[in-house]
Amino acid sequence: LDTFEARDFATLEKLARRVAWRTVLAAGTTAEIVVTCRKSRLYHSDAVAERVARGIQESVPGVLISRADSSRDANDELADELEDDLEVELRDARGDERPRETLAAPPPSVPNGTRVQRILVRLDRDICTISADSSGELLHRRGWRLDSGKAPLRETLAASLLVASGWTADAPLVDPMCGAGTIAIEAALWARRIAPGLSRSFACEAWPGADPKVAQAVRDAAREAVLPNAPCVIVAADRDAGAMEATRTNAERAGVLADLTLLHQPVSALDLSAHGDRGWVVTNPPYGIRTGNPDSLRALWGRLGAVVRQGGTGWTLGVVVPDQALAREVRLPLERVVATTTGGRPVAFARSRLPNAPDA
């Protein structure tokens, strides 16, 4: 919405009144203000939020200001979203602390039925950037995953890993440790050209002046592009019965159950040759966080590598790698494609392309 320099609170409040708030807020809307302060003269985030709130209410009378539950508020989820959705965390070489984030103080609750609009205020080296969240519900929440495995992978991250693997939705894809089925379901949605978030709404649709006909036209065009079924084999397998039930439930909710081959079996029972002489294995194996001791998982990682090697040189492996010790157990040449975080832990997504694997 705006960017300006603010070295004192008087300037901040003055310029906050000039922001084009009416493009995103209207009387009766609740503005949820999220503040980040980093290396700025204005470092007290509550005071920053207070000045911005005054600017909002003077510009658009009738707008309410809210704060989230302090124990687990929107800031925590926003930080997780930025870290987990392949946003590579950039840390200062001098070891700066991570930004502190808080919400404006009064009032502590949002009236029932009130539209909430998140407003992001970022102060970085005295430069204030004010933005409006156009999504509303966090983007990884597609609306289909209500059942989770032991170490769930966010939908957006799973989709990004599929892209990074080089899979093009025209060859078999197998996840032999599927958990709640996130990777396989995202693969099926992609293969059928079902747009992410097609069944959900977005905050920008409620902005003053937003034309509902535009949103409807976009949705109609997206629905027309959907294929009746996936053009390739997509396999979701796991040795855990609870994980397979979660996969089945999530896939049915996503509308792609018929596009998946579900196999209740361990990794060692997987025969890739049954699905062709070429394809992709994309998976997020257990690696000790929430799922056990890393030392006890080396045999599992070894079996994963053996299964891929036995499938032949036409198969590509894409795998989430937490450390090199487990990666070495695969006994395949792994190339790091992406570095990111998941569950607050740094990981890499690595790919092993054998001599006859399909071109990415």
Give pLDDT tens digits for 86-125: 333 333 332 333 333 333 333 334 555 678 999 999 999 9
First to last CA, the chain: 39
Does residue 248 contact residue 145 with C-beta atoms inside 8 Å?
no
The predicted structure's pLDDT at residue 345: 80
What gap in Å lies between CA 146 and CA 112, rounded to an integer? 24
pTM: 0.76
Dihedral angle, C-alpha 246, 249, 252, 256, nearest 10 °: 0
What gap in Å lies between CA 216 and CA 124, rounded to an integer? 38
What the block records as the tokens of 264 is 């209740």
For the chain, state the CA radius of gyration: 23
The letter for the amino acid at 348 is: A
Widest distance between CA atoms in the chain:
70
Low-confidence ranges of the chain (pLDDT < 50): 68-109, 290-291, 360
The predicted structure's pLDDT at residue 354: 60
Residue with tokens 């937003």: 210
The predicted structure's pLDDT at residue 101: 36
What gap in Å lies between CA 69 and CA 75, rounded to an integer? 10
